[in-house]
Chain A
Amino acid sequence: MNAGGRRIGRRLVAALLAVLLVPLSALLISGEISRRSIDGVEAATAQLVAQSGETLEQTQRSVAALVNFNTKAQVLGVAEAIDLAMALSPELIADPTKLADEVEVFKLVRTTVVGRAGFVCVADLATKRILLHKEVDATTLRDVSGLENAIEKTDLAASLARERASVMHARGLAGWRRSFTYEDPSEGGRYWVLVPLKKGSLLVAGMTTRAGLADSVEMDVAKTVQTAKRYLGEVQARTAAVHATFRATLVLAVLLGGLVVLGGLVYVRRRFLRPIGDLTATALAVQRGDLHVRSHVQSKDEFELLSRAVNDMLERITAQLEELERFSEELEHRVIERTEELRHAQAQVLHSEKLAVVGTLTAGIMHEINNPVNFVSGATFTLGREVARLLGLLEEQLDPADWQTEEGRALRSGLDKIGESARLIAQGSDRISSIVTSLRAFARAQDRRAVVDLREGLDSTLVLAQPLVKERIVVHREYGDLPAIECNPGEVNQVFMNLVVNAAQAIADKGEIWIRTARIGDMAMVEIADTGPGVPDDLRSRIFDPFFTTKEVGQGTGMGLSICAQIVQAHGGKLEVGDRPGGGAIFRVILPLSTPGPSTGQHRIAPV
């Protein structure tokens, strides 16, 4: 996440820099361009000023010269003119070779040597001495031969002339190192410029006019004005260019800046606002409770990381919620199951406690009943015996005739009735005795296992169930071969009692009950069938459920068959229900002949 944090930080900084720097640099660049243009304008202006100044100076000088000429030309000799020329431009004279190459030389000469009169002079530049000076008129000056003649009059010139006379003749001033002819068409003036023959000496010849001079000044001024105009135009053009550049730059900078800001906004929106929006929408949806919403940021930065983290989190939360739901459902299911089991167990505990109380009560009652029954039955024995003995004694003592008398018949009848009563009392006490004995089978060893004959248990059950059966039901005992089995007799008898009572109650009026026993392999089978209405198919799966009953409220607990099934299962057997051929139900108890494992009779409560 740290690396991600740095990355988003860098992006932010880059975005900010881009937003700030691009317009800034555009401004800087445009500034530089402007600065340079302005520099150019300044330079041009300076140049213009310099040149204008120079031209102005020149013009001033020309004007001054013109003024000077007007005042001095008449008095100055050529020598003085030369001196003047020298003084005006000493450096040009210093290097005549250079001087000769320059157009200015001509100008110098021309401006210096003024007047209609012409002159020819040869000066030694080294010594600044005029070697030859001859005033010539214009005609002479224009006449080359005349000039030659003038030159030939000097020694130096004579030798020179001899040397190059033919050339000079042919080309005018041929033989000179260089010569220029300047013609001014507008003036009709014609000037020669003679450049030095050799170093140190200069031949200057020239002829000009005053008009020409003035023209020249005018021309200079016009030239200056023209130049100034040119430069001014240039300056204006350059300034305009600078302004245009500046404007363009400004517009460009503004455009660029706007573009960059716009780009920055778009970038920020795409990079930051949109992911944040998406994440916020996701978070709000989650807050509303929609856990199936997912964030879809694909920005390859920490927003995507965050988005993925949020999605992962949501996945986990959803999974956990689902698991929680499943768990709670399962829990609920288990609670229901457990409640059912507990109800079952509670019912069984209640039932067991009831049985235990009944057992204890039975034990006490049996003792209390057996004592009187003991002496009632014992007394009938004595009574019968004594009646018999009394009869015997009377038989001995009385004549047969005496028995025929009314008293005799009454005596015999009374004694017979006493004997009969004794027999009836004995019979009744026998019945009481057998009921008590059967009760004992139930009360005995409620919690103990024993090896017992199931048929005895069935007999005891039938004795106790006698009141329900009476004369309305015929009970068929079809006992097959059955070895004694190991079981909890109290519990097993309870099962039989339940089934017999159910069978008897199922028969509304008169009917029959069959009780059969058989051995099937290593299992004992007891079958109790009745002629009642039978068990409907749709109830068959429920009749062994706790609290299920078809009896009226208050008539049955609905626990009987459920507990029977539990007891039989605890013995490792099973309890089945079926249809009796011909109508009615068959309940079948199947028990193993011997139950493996420790047998303490504590199976009644199903393991929970």
Chain B
Amino acid sequence: MLFVDDEEGNLFVAREMLADAPVVVLTATDGASALETLRSEPIAVLVSDQRMPGMSGVELLQRAATEWPDTIRLLLTGFADLGAVVDAINRGGIWRYLTKPIDPTDLQHAIRLATEQYRTRAAHREEVRSLKARIDELEARLAAKV
């Protein structure tokens, strides 16, 4: 998973909180480096702060949604006015909205659920893919017989 926050402290805390979780925690301090990481690594869960220099959280999430739709996206912010939350949902297509200060248990729970969600989606996608392959194969065989 990838954790994006302009505060190093938050990144450290996040890593520590998820130290025991069965996930690899990558971090980035701004939107640009986060996008780089997304391009180079397969990311299951993306957690972003809202207020960051350069690129806002919503913007990052929106771009991630377009390029890596399978990635589960969460917004973690100290304060969000209603407009930011609405944007995050409508444009960034976020799965969850978390507020700072976050309880370690809440974060672990959210990440676990997100990972499961990702896995479920991946499984579904694999199933669909194999079903499609099977259909294709069956159709090919049917065509050969006919």
Interface residues of A (CB under 8 A from B): 363-364, 366-379, 381-382, 385, 429, 433, 440, 445, 448
Contact = CB atoms under 8 A, between A and B. Distances in A.
A367 B49 CA distance: 11
B101 A374 contact: yes
Given A370-B79, A371-B78, A374-B78, A433 B101 contact: yes
A381 B16 CA distance: 9
For A372, A378, A429, which residue has the most chain B Cβ atoms within 10 angstroms?
A378
Given A374-B101, A378-B102, A367 B13 contact: no
A379 B12 CA distance: 8
Given A378-B10, A378-B14, A367 B77 contact: yes
B9 A369 contact: no
Given A367-B51, A381-B104, A433-B101, A374 B13 contact: yes
Contacts of A381: 13, 16-17, 104
B41 interface: no
A363 B77 CA distance: 12
Dominant secondary structure of chain A at its interface with chain B? helix
Given A370-B79, A371-B10, A382-B16, 10 more contacts: A366-B79, A367-B78, A371-B100, A374-B9, A374-B100, A375-B12, A378-B101, A381-B16, A385-B16, A440-B79
A118 B99 CA distance: 197
Contacts of B9: 371-372, 374-375, 378-379
Contacts of B12: 375, 378-379
Contacts of A375: 7, 9-10, 12-13
Interface in B9-48: 9-10, 12-14, 16-17
B37 to A, nearest CB: 21
A90 to B, nearest CB: 167
B143 interface: no
B82 interface: yes
B: interface residue count bin: 10 to 19
Given A371-B7, A371-B10, A372-B9, A378 B79 contact: no
Contacts of B14: 378
A102 to B, nearest CB: 163
Contacts of A378: 9-10, 12-14, 16-17, 101-102, 104
A371 B7 CA distance: 8
B13 A445 contact: no
A475 B17 CA distance: 37
A381 B15 CA distance: 12
Given A374-B102, A378-B104, A382-B16, A366 B10 contact: no
Contacts of B82: 445, 448
Interface of B: 7, 9-10, 12-14, 16-17, 51, 77-79, 81-82, 99-102, 104
Contacts of A379: 9, 12-13, 16
Nearest to B15: A382
29 contacts: A363-B79, A363-B81, A364-B79, A366-B79, A367-B79, A370-B79, A373-B100, A374-B7, A374-B78, A375-B10, A375-B13, A376-B101, A377-B101, A378-B9, A378-B10, A378-B12, A378-B13, A378-B14, A378-B16, A378-B17, A378-B104, A381-B16, A381-B17, A382-B13, A382-B16, A382-B17, A385-B16, A433-B101, A445-B82
Q: Which 9 A-B pairs have the closest CB atoms?
A: A378-B13, A370-B78, A375-B9, A374-B100, A382-B16, A366-B79, A374-B101, A367-B79, A370-B100
B56 to A, nearest CB: 12
Contacts of A364: 79
A228 to B, nearest CB: 153
Contacts, number: 68
Contacts of A440: 79
Contacts of A363: 79, 81
Nearest to B50: A367
Contacts of A433: 101
Nearest to A377: B101
A122 to B, nearest CB: 182
A370 B9 CA distance: 12
Given A363-B81, A367-B51, A374 B104 contact: no
Contacts of A373: 100-101
Contacts of B16: 378-379, 381-382, 385
Contacts of B17: 378, 381-382
For B9, B78, B82, which residue has the most chain A Cβ atoms within 10 angstroms?
B78
A375 B14 CA distance: 8
A371 B17 CA distance: 16
Contacts of A429: 101
Given A363-B79, A440-B79, A370 B13 contact: no
A382 B100 CA distance: 16
Nearest to B8: A375
A452 B144 CA distance: 67
B78 A366 contact: yes
Nearest to A364: B79
For B16, B79, B104, which residue has the most chain A Cβ atoms within 10 angstroms?
B79
B85 to A, nearest CB: 11
Contacts of B10: 371, 374-375, 378
A521 B48 CA distance: 47
Nearest to A363: B79
A197 to B, nearest CB: 177
A476 B79 CA distance: 31
A102 B102 CA distance: 182
